[in-house]
Amino acid sequence: SQTIHQWPATLVQPVGSPLSLECTVEGTSNPNLYWYRQAAGRGLQLLFYSVGIGQISSEVPQNLSASRPQDRQFILSSKKLLLSDSGFYLCAWRPGLASYEQYFGPGTRLTVT
Amino acid sequence: SQKIEQNSEALNIQEGKTATLTCNYTNYSPAYLQWYRQDPGRGPVFLLLIRENEKEKRKERLKVTFDTTLKQSLFHITASQPADSATYLCALDYGGQNFVFGPGTRLSVLP
């Protein structure tokens, strides 16, 4: 069966510090991968998606970036965090365009102080 | 841009009753509409998907309807239980990578 992992689970970082969140998927190959951010009381905001290694599409201009160095690994990064980057970050995958539901990871709670 | 509204931010119902959650959208209808459940501090979990040419879809105590004329989907939980308490999200899927999530409705089922 497929599983998705995210780490760390929680993170407190000062403004201006770098960020690296990691997501890995097991039990599947060539998944579509997604990074979302969820602010309190708001819906999921799609940040990045990837359909293959090295292929990243950005949905929202911001100080965040994403990379996919391996088939089942997706990384969200920032060189300098802003207060507005605080939120709940979720990684998700789906098998491909033929399957429409998404499978989410446990999330990372980021607090920028 | 597409706007999604989900009835109220919070909904309280008595155990055993039917919970009805609403998802309304503007602009054009999606090819698919999905419903997810999210527990506090956890990632959303997929529940049901309904296509634009389907009127209704059922899964155990769950029922989803999709009315492209009204631009609305209704999500029903029959014989609700306290364990059904969670936030429920609707998502519009236009195909490819084009999808939008609603803000969610927090459902509380009171014993």
- A94 touching chain B per CB within 8 A: no
Q: Is the pLDDT of residue A96 over 80?
A: no
Residues of B in contact with A89 (CB under 8 A): none
CA distance B111 to chain A (A): 25
pLDDT in tens, A19-56: 999 999 999 989 999 999 998 767 899 999 999 999 99
CA distance B89 to chain A (A): 8
Q: Are strands B72-77 and B56-59 parallel, antiparallel or unpaired?
A: unpaired
Question: If you ran DSSP here, which 8-state letter would residue A17 be given?
Answer: -
Give the number of A-B residue pairs with CB atoms closer than 8 Å.
46
Q: Which residue has the higher pLDDT, B94 or B78?
A: B78
Q: Is the pLDDT of residue B5 over 70?
A: yes
> Residues B57-86: what's their mean pLDDT?
96
> Residues A74-84: what's their mean pLDDT?
95
A23, A28, A34, A40 alpha-carbon torsion, rounded to 10°: -70
- Interchain pair A44, B49: CB under 8 A: no
Confidence of residue A61 (pLDDT cuts 50, 70, 90): low
Confidence of residue A72 (pLDDT cuts 50, 70, 90): very high
Question: Distance between CA atoms of A41 and A51, rounded to whole angstroms?
Answer: 29
Question: If you ran DSSP here, which 8-state letter would residue A84 be given?
Answer: G
What's CA B88's distance to the chain center, in Å? 6
CA distance A4 to chain B (A): 11
Q: What's the pLDDT score for residue A1?
A: 85
Q: Which residue has the higher pLDDT, A1 or A40?
A: A1
Q: What's the pLDDT score for residue A98?
A: 65
Q: What's the pLDDT score for residue B31?
A: 83
Mean pLDDT of chain A: 92
Residues of B in contact with A36 (CB under 8 A): 101
Q: What's the pLDDT score for residue A82?
A: 94
- Interchain pair B100, A107: CB under 8 A: no
Q: Is the pLDDT of residue B98 over 80?
A: no
Confidence of residue B14 (pLDDT cuts 50, 70, 90): very high
CB–CB of B19/B79 below 8 Å? Answer: no
Mean pLDDT of chain B: 92
Q: Is the pLDDT of residue A7 over 80?
A: yes
Q: Is the pLDDT of residue A99 over 70?
A: no
- B84 touching chain A per CB within 8 A: no
- Interchain pair B43, A106: CB under 8 A: yes
